Chains A and B, each alone.
Chain A
Amino acid sequence: MQFEMIDVNKIYEASADNKVYGARNINITISDGDFMALVGPSGSGKTTILNLIAGLILPSSGVLNHGGVDITHLSLEERTRHRLESMGFIFQDYQLLPILTAAENIEFPLQLKGYDQQEIKNRVKWALEQVGLPEMGNRFPKQLSGGQQQRVSIARAIAGRPELILADEPTANLDSRTAQEIIELFLKLNKEFNLTFVFSTHDQRLIDEVRTVLYIKDGQITEKRTHHV
């Protein structure tokens, strides 16, 4: 299902005469199976764009069209439901719930979706296998390394087979070897299951692997590059 940002602006008003553009005239189309990166220095606006796509913040103007639904017209609770139904998230610092095991962390959004127990069990098993941690389901996050936690975070994002997976600096907290493994995992998931990924990143290794790179500066897309990987 296609996601479109059409003429999207996000303005932060610190005061009446002090307006800051978090996003300016953004037009992006994300298609099924895309593997896209938003690249730019800190404060350039890439996380703002990621948050707009997720519906975590609303634009000051413009349209966020996801499969024919303008999510700017949805209420807060409807946007939360929309995220649950169609998006997965991967965080820089993993954001696993420390009181739940790896399997229960993956199970969490599936429970919210209301899947039956067998379906949840199958999906958790599948997700853990995909990220290479089939035997680690019973471990709590503190019993896992950083790389393993990020893998669980990825498993949580993909278990519901969302239409769109948003990843905010997913390799920033990892050592280079682990980061490389995680990038390979993203590539595998994209190729094997046609999962759609949008990253915000500084990591050149990841930038080299994506098909579309959008360079962001001062809230604007300054350049778009397409790789044929």
Chain B
Amino acid sequence: MRQFLFLLKFSYRNLWRAPRRTFIMLMGLILGTGFIIWDLNFANSGSREVMKDFLSQYAGQYHISQKGYYSEESKKEFNNYKTLTDDEIQDKSLFPLSTQRVTAPVFISGEKKTLGVLLTGLDVEKEAKLTSLPKATTIGRFLDPLGDKEIILGKKLAQRIDAKLGDQVVVIGQALDGSVANDLMTVVGLLDFGGGDLEESLAFTQIHSAREMMSMNDNQYHIRVSFDMEDETLPDLPDLQVTSWHELLTEISVSLRFIDNFTWTVTFIIVLVISLGLSNTLMITFFEREQEFQTLNIIGARTNWIALSLMLEVFMMGTMAILGGTLLGHLFTTYSYYYPVNIQLFTGGKPIIMGGMTIVPLVRIYPVMEYYWKVPLLVYFFLGLTMIHPLIRVIRRSQNAI
């Protein structure tokens, strides 16, 4: 132990024998590590925050339905005849953060035109608690839970069929019993999704109105949409189908995966570039001391002792850099949590529309714990790699002392 402490002191003093050089190397590593941690936190928590905002508007984290409700090939296609009741869901703890929905493709006719849209019957009170749909209803009002046969339309849809607040529109679809379902509904509100495509293809009514039109029982519905998913873990419901948003919105999910992988790739490249620079500096530093390594060998220091002292030197520098870098990265991340980053900075001020909806551009960045050990490991790994060549040369030189 005492010998190791001496070795540690020896390595530490060697680390600071050229203080300016060590300081520059250290600062490079600290800034690099700090930036990587912030950048990964930004990419990960940023995209999660964006997704959370997007999913809370309407789509939800996952859907519970009968098996076969969503087509296996494409989750955009669904079988309207597969209905569900709460009796079929054993785990009642899933209910507080989920809501029932009835969905049906219908035609809606206004003064001018008839257009095909997806009509969703909502449990109004529950939706108001879980989603931001009421906030998106910028003209008129949201659905009244006690009202009947009210409808809210996307702004673009209302424009195209020439429907205004207070107008009655005709809704035509197919009921569960196969008969033609039709009803007159009163427009009470218009939805603003920032001009996205969904403004043109969505309409909402009270769930009981949708049931009545579709000839469904009072306890029947198509899907239960959940707004809470811990650690991306889906509930285990063997007799039912649980579909994650990743499957429902594959394009968005793939884009996010791309961002994640791209960020890691950039991280690797940054660390590699820093490592190459560092390797060069280490090589120069070590070669300047070749004579000293020979002296050490002559006065009795074995080759592994010399190699170990060099490794400790680099390990200490790496540890200081990782501690400093992690702290720096965490400070910036915390700052970006309390002062959210406006991601419209990256779009030239233009709104960000995802899946047909505009998302809130202010993103809180929070620390993602896995990066606080993955990044240090990555830095140590590359530091280890940078040591290989200089170390081989040092070992060879110290062995051929004279």
Contacts and interface: CB of A to CB of B under 8 A. Distances in A.
**Mutual binders A and B:** yes
A80 B14 contact: no
Interface string B35-46: 000000000000
A81 B298 contact: no
B129 interface: no
Contact of B298 (A54, A107, A114): A54
A14 interface: no
Contact of A111 (B3, B302, B303): B3
A99 interface: yes
Nearest to A51: B402
Nearest to B304: A77
Given A54-B298, A97-B292, A76 B303 contact: yes
B10 A84 contact: no
Nearest to A57: B402
Given A80-B300, A112-B301, A99 B17 contact: yes
Interface string B280-320: 00000000000110011111111101000000000000000
B401 interface: yes
A83 interface: yes
Nearest to A160: B300
Contacts, number: 56
A80 B302 contact: yes
Interface residues of B, number: 22
A99 B299 contact: no
Interface string B383-402: 00000000000000001011
A99 B13 contact: yes
A100 B305 contact: no
Main secondary structure of the interface of B (DSSP, over half): helix
Contact of B401 (A56, A99, A100, A156): A56
B17 A89 contact: no
A43 interface: no
B292 A89 contact: no
B299 A84 contact: yes
B373 interface: no
A2 interface: no
| Contact residues on A (Cβ < 8 Å of other chain), bracket | 20 to 34
B112 interface: no
A147 interface: no
B2 interface: yes
Contacts of B301: 80, 108, 112
Interface in B1-43: 2-3, 6, 10, 13-14, 17
A91 interface: yes
A109 B402 contact: no
A77 B303 contact: yes
A80 B401 CA distance: 11
Contact of A95 (B295, B300, B303): B295
Contacts of B399: 76
Nearest to A156: B299
Nearest to B295: A95
7 contacts: A51-B402, A81-B300, A89-B299, A99-B13, A100-B13, A107-B6, A109-B299
Interface of B: 2-3, 6, 10, 13-14, 17, 291-292, 295-303, 305, 399, 401-402
Given A112-B300, A117-B2, A156-B299, 19 more contacts: A56-B402, A57-B402, A80-B300, A80-B303, A81-B300, A83-B300, A84-B300, A85-B300, A89-B298, A95-B292, A99-B14, A108-B299, A111-B3, A111-B6, A112-B301, A112-B305, A113-B300, A114-B3, A116-B2
